[in-house]
Amino acid sequence: MRAVLFEEFAGPVAVRSVPDPTPSRGGVVIQVGATGLCRSDWHGWQGHDPDIALPHVPGHELAGTIAALGSDVRGWAVGDRVTVPFVCACGRCPACAAGAQQVCERQTQPGFTHWGSFAEFVAIDNAGVNLVGLPAEVPFDVAAGLGCRVATSFRAVVAQGRVAPGEWVAVHGCGGVGLSAVAVAVAAGARVVAVDISPQALLLARDLGAEAVAASAAEVVEVTGGGAHLSLDALGSAVTCAGSINSLRRRGRHVQVGLLPTDPPVPMGRVIAYELAVLGSHGMPAHAYPALLGLVTSGRLPVDRMITRHLPLAGAPAALTAMDTTPGNGVTIIEP
């Protein structure tokens, strides 16, 4: 098959011919219909993820059709349309038994612990707890974002952030994760202020329903009349993490969604004085997808409007390596 491959961290990336994957006994091989290009993929290429072994094929947001089944797989058939959460669970550890597959103790992640979806085919283990069936009306490019950015934002806003109608939600960083968080919060009835330094990103956030835009925590506090009830760092930097915490009102909730290459200094004085809650959010289990898919199929969560670029597989290497130097807005979808 054709796949995007790199053999050294921060080194050359190219489309190569590599062996086709085969399914494990409990797994499947998916023919990739579409896959998202996420900043996490750039972190992996840079060498920020200790799980990656070289040579490597990145890609963790995917949708497609089942091409092959392992001998122990039941309830699925070749040709079924599916997506998967980027955290693929084992289904057997205590976390999985508690329904918290997103923090599975033996999790695997396509594009990190094994070769990913910047390819024509990708292997996924433990199909019974990780596959999510796709309604016919959800196209692959829309579904690809559900594997990471949209699902991660949905759980961060709804489950971890406990958003309530009428609350102010600040979203710091309006890339793919941030725009998803804006749309999810709007769908939940919240009032959203989008925070970014890119005028294009803020225009997209406005289009998705953000009531206000800002460039700093001080502006958020002013716009919201004292601070947001819920704030998310959707980018992952020392500046946006601190900005998110500093934009909260008393007893507000900060959710860290964006990955941080190193642990940043955190304004803990404000956390203590304002009795703030500081929470992490790490993907979403497959069993929680029906509520998200319901929002997508109803049109209340317009994922298609977040997609700003479609590229062939041959365009993935340049797009991946340019992520930290070329401003990007919205979601980029790769179609092998």
Q: What is the pLDDT of residues 66-95, one digit of tens each?
A: 999 999 999 999 999 999 999 999 999 999
pTM: 0.92
Please tell me whether residue 254 adopts helix, strand or coil conformation: strand
Give dist(CA 216, CA 224) in Å, integer. 13
Q: Is the per-residue pLDDT at 319 higher than 80?
A: yes
pLDDT digits (tens, 9 = 90+) for 114-145: 999 999 999 999 999 999 999 999 999 999 98
pLDDT at 242 over 90: yes
The letter for the amino acid at 155 is R
Q: What DSSP line would sit under 99-112, residue for residue?
A: T-GGG-TT-B-BTT
Nearest 5°: phi and psi at 30?
A: -110, 130
Distance CA 112, CA 139 (A): 25
Q: What is the pLDDT of residue 39?
A: 84
* 327 has pLDDT over 80: no
pLDDT band at 320 (very low <50, low <70, confident <90, very high): very high
Please name the residue ranges forming H helices in 47-168: 94-97, 127-130, 140-144, 149-154
pLDDT at 223 over 80: yes
Q: What is the largest CA-CA distance in the chain?
A: 59
Q: Could you tell me the sign of the dihedral formed by the alpha carbons of 261, 169, 151, 164, in that order? A: positive
Percentage of the chain beyond pLDDT 70 is: 99
pLDDT band at 308 (very low <50, low <70, confident <90, very high): confident
Instruction: Calculate mean pLDDT across residues 25-42.
Output: 95
Q: Evaluate whether 183 touches 205 at the Cβ level (below 8 Å).
A: no
Quote the DSSP letter at residue 300. S
